[in-house]
Amino acid sequence: MIEKVIPLADLRYAARMPHIPAQLQAPTGMLADTLSRPLHDLRISVTDRCNFRCSYCMPSEVFNKDYAFLPQSSLLSFEEITRLTKIFVAHGVEKIRLTGGEPLLRKHLEVLIGMLARLTTPSGKPLDITLTTNASLLAKKAQALKDAGLQRVTVSLDGLDDAVFRRMNDVDFPVADVLKGIEVAHKVGLAPIKVNMVVKRGTNDAEILPMARHFRNSGVVLRFIEYMDVGATNGWRMDEVLPSAQLLERLQAGFPLEAIDANYTGETAERWRYRDGGGEIGVISSVTKAFCGDCNRARLSTEGKLFLCLFASQGHDLRALLRDGSYSDEQISAAVAHIWQGRSDRYSELRAALPPDASVPGSDGARRVEMSYIGG
């Protein structure tokens, strides 16, 4: 039998050329999509590379030595990222999350943070700048990141048992080094620190209680994320998802919890706190409880394509406008407004309304972009 090989790298390049409206309207800071969702968060992927091979994100069978990562020349430069961010901020973005791939692999990331930290919202407020990292390089870089203007950090850690964690990251990386990264981040004043744990039933669900116990009373907010069917390579199966409702039951058995209000509209995590004052945790029910209704997040891929949903298979090529050289900021701003105003994505909601094995109309599972490419 001849197997058909799908060249993943080629598919990543599929993107629409943005339309520049004939009438350029000045940004009002209040852009709404077709479902009245504002544009508030921008996630920027600064590299598609990573030194981990978490099976739910970059399985090593696919992301191996033959995998075609993006060449350096394809990546948005820091100047290009800053120019686009400024445009997004004028449209209402107040929160920036740098991600990837592993963002700390991008050389001189602190220079980019310094450039972004100098931007302000139309009302003069500083931007809320954060970073999601596997923390492998955090101990080394935390001080420089803080000095450059980074305020806080989210660290991914899927368990405290070394054997479980090494298996999940698939590069034999030890838990102790991640904990060291968290400790140094705390020391230099990156706060609050959040820890994300992706829960895969049968793989690391035995780590839920030890993780909760470890981070209780530490000031760190632990957030449990349902394993998602993002991308096209992780071999996702529903039976490996542990619904947050069940996770909360397990947690409550050890530590009584009570629900608390969201910090802001569109927050992805549901917040809970320990009744005995031991701090706060969050659950992100991306699979079992869709939160598309409040989704105010745009994602800028490593090579400058704008994605309107984590489950999209096509982006909008903003880099083409930047590199053409003939488009003004006003024109690019109008193109961004046009794209957001046409947004109707709500993949998780649509999927939740379908039987488990049905696919969402208009979503091409085999062509969905990878999380490491558009950023989590």
Q: Which residues bind ligand SF4 (CB under 6 A)?
A: 50, 52-54, 57-58, 100-102, 134, 156, 291-292, 295, 309-311, 345-348, 372
Rank residues 333 and 372 by Cβ distance to ligand SF4 and give the closer one: 372
d(CA 87, CA 122): 11
Q: Which of 127, 184, 228, 336 binds ligand SAM (CB under 6 A)?
A: 228
| Residues in Cβ contact with 144 at an 8 Å cutoff, skipping those fewer than 6 apart | 110
Q: How far is the CB of 159 from ligand SAM (least distance, A)?
A: 12
Stretch that binds ligand SAM, among 99-107, 109-117, 144-152, 315-323 (CB under 6 A): 99-107
Residue 273 near residue 257 (C-beta atoms within 8 A): yes
Residue 232 near residue 370 (C-beta atoms within 8 A): yes
Q: Which does 234 bind (CB under 5 to 8 A by kind): ligand SAM, ligand SF4, none?
A: ligand SAM
Residue 151 near residue 118 (C-beta atoms within 8 A): no
Residue 56 makes contact with ligand SAM by CB under 6 A: yes
Rank residues 56 and 327 by Cβ distance to ligand SAM and give the closer one: 56
d(CA 195, CA 10): 34
Stretch that binds ligand SAM, among 65-73, 130-138, 169-177, 314-322 (CB under 6 A): 130-138
Number of other residues whose CB lies within 10 A of the CB of residue 122: 14
Residue 48 makes contact with ligand SAM by CB under 6 A: no
Residue 376 makes contact with ligand SAM by CB under 6 A: yes
Rank residues 99 and 204 by Cβ distance to ligand SAM and give the closer one: 99
Helix or strand run (H / E) with residue 44: strand 41-45
Written as six digits, the tokens of 42 are: 């921008």
d(CA 171, CA 123): 45
DSSP string, 214-226: HHTTSS-EEEEEE
Rank residues 85 and 296 by Cβ distance to ligand SF4 and give the closer one: 296
Rank residues 234 and 322 by Cβ distance to ligand SF4 and give the closer one: 234
